[in-house]
A = this chain, B = another copy of it.
Amino acid sequence: MPAMPLALNPDRLFPADPATRAVTRDLFALVEKLPIISPHGHTDPRWFAGNANFGNATELLLKPDHYLFRMLYSQGVRLEELGIRNKAADPREAWRILASNFHLFRGTPSAIWLNWVFVEVFGLDRRLSAETSDLYYDTITDALATEAFRPRALFERFNIEVITTTESPLDSLEHHHAIAASGWQGRVLTAYRPDPVVDPEFEGFHDNLDKLSALTGQDCRTWAGYIAAHRQRRADFIAAGATSSDHGHPTARTADLAPAEAEALFARVSSGPASAADAELFRAQMLTEMARMSLDDGLVMQLHPGSFRNHNQPLFDRFGRDKGADIPMATDYVTALQPLLGAFGNDPRLSLIVFTLDETAYARELAPLAGHYPAMKLGPAWWFHDSPEGMRRYRRMVTETAGFYNTVGFNDDTRAFLSIPARHDLARRIDCGFLAELVVEHRLELDEAAELAVDLAYNLAKAAYRL
């Protein structure tokens, strides 16, 4: 089979109806070139600190992207073949596996993001397939070796106004300090992600407490010292530019214990193996503690609950975390969030941005909560739902109860650096299409839609994250 042509249609992802498409085009023209605000993600600050060239196509595009290898794995590809935990694998041959199986991604956002990268970043004009595998591998790998493809150059080419990475309280923030010291103007912030020292079930939790003690000079085996250490590290993060914290919990449960109870709970979880109930209660209490600290230091809180991590135990034993085996679960928000919201939800100084992997909560729980509590806002469609259909469901289920202004714009939430503009492009197109539908159905005036298009693409994220 000859290689098929590859191009990006300017109307891609716009609704089919001609009148709606025309309005979408007009709205998209207003936002297409706006700078990227990336307030939450997982890029590596080392890239921007050292500004070293990226490696080959496989290292940059395939191996870090669990969206890609989870799909390949589901169809019988072994992770070793892709070079995961296997240094003997030839990256060119790993790339060929992706190329030969690219049809598996039809209808998925991965195909949309990758094709954007292939066309816009690397100038490729034939479709990825077994036939074009070497062409792709060489084109991409060669380009990555050039000046124009170093991290800072791409950052600027992508028109990124600000990007936020995510670090643990145990992180030295050395790369962020190096960026600041370098004189480069790119704005790369950190975010405070305390899971390793907040979750008693995290690998090495007790050791992590001791490391935190060492880093801060506090005695993190006492409740007072532990809390003081958090405050201290949050101040360090803020000094390095952080405006937000992030919390990846299995559930959305919060608690508001009396101080003595909280202290006793900490004594139990910090002195020996925690029971499942104590671990859950401690995570719950720590969300409320973090909210209390946010009222003082202004960090915006993000809550990312609802993933059953490492569902595939045999795979985890061989390959470790983040191998595509995290599976969403049904997630309650109504009773779970009540303790925290009862304590601080009426205070407009707090900003708690809540995400979900359980879409049934959008219209039933999250939009009603965000449409009432001054402190609560809704994060965008997340992870498996960061996709055209996922975003449409989000807007349709959230907007009528929470409005647009209790949402916070788009997060790319990715470690796949090259896909960031592709993801923002997709989100802007889908949002403009949704607004255009409202206009054509006379549920919104065109001038309102124009203002909202800019808000959804740019202003809301900047305001919600206090950037």
Contact = CB atoms under 8 A, between A and B. Distances in A.
A440 B315 CA distance: 39
A142 to B, nearest CB: 27
Contact of A448 (B103, B325, B404): B103
A232 interface: no
Interface in A2-20: 4, 8-9, 11-20
B374 A74 contact: yes
Contact of A403 (B14, B105, B346, B384): B105
Contact of A346 (B314, B360, B376, B404): B314
B406 A75 contact: yes
B374 A387 contact: no
Interface string A362-405: 01110111111110100000001101111001001101111111
Nearest to A315: B346
Interface stretch (A107-115, A117-125, A195-203, A277-285): A107-115
B400 A388 contact: yes
B373 A401 contact: no
Given A13-B443, A325-B372, A330-B360, 20 more contacts: A9-B442, A17-B17, A71-B371, A74-B370, A74-B373, A105-B403, A107-B404, A107-B438, A108-B403, A308-B335, A311-B369, A312-B346, A314-B342, A328-B364, A329-B335, A329-B365, A357-B364, A359-B364, A389-B400, A390-B400
A75 B20 contact: no
Interface residues of A, number: 95
Given A373-B312, A404-B107, A452-B106, A363 B384 contact: yes
Given A107-B438, A109-B400, A363 B345 contact: no
Nearest to A367: B384
A442 B364 contact: no
A371 B327 CA distance: 10
A334 to B, nearest CB: 5
Contacts of A74: 370-374, 376, 402, 406
Contacts of A14: 441
A152 to B, nearest CB: 32
A408 interface: no
A308 B328 contact: no
B403 A387 contact: no
B372 A324 contact: yes
A303 interface: no
A342 B396 contact: no
A204 interface: no
A372 B389 CA distance: 20
A71 B402 CA distance: 7
Contacts of A444: 106-107
Interface string A435-467: 001101111110110011000000000000000
B374 A73 contact: yes
Contacts of A105: 403
A390 B363 contact: yes
A247 to B, nearest CB: 20
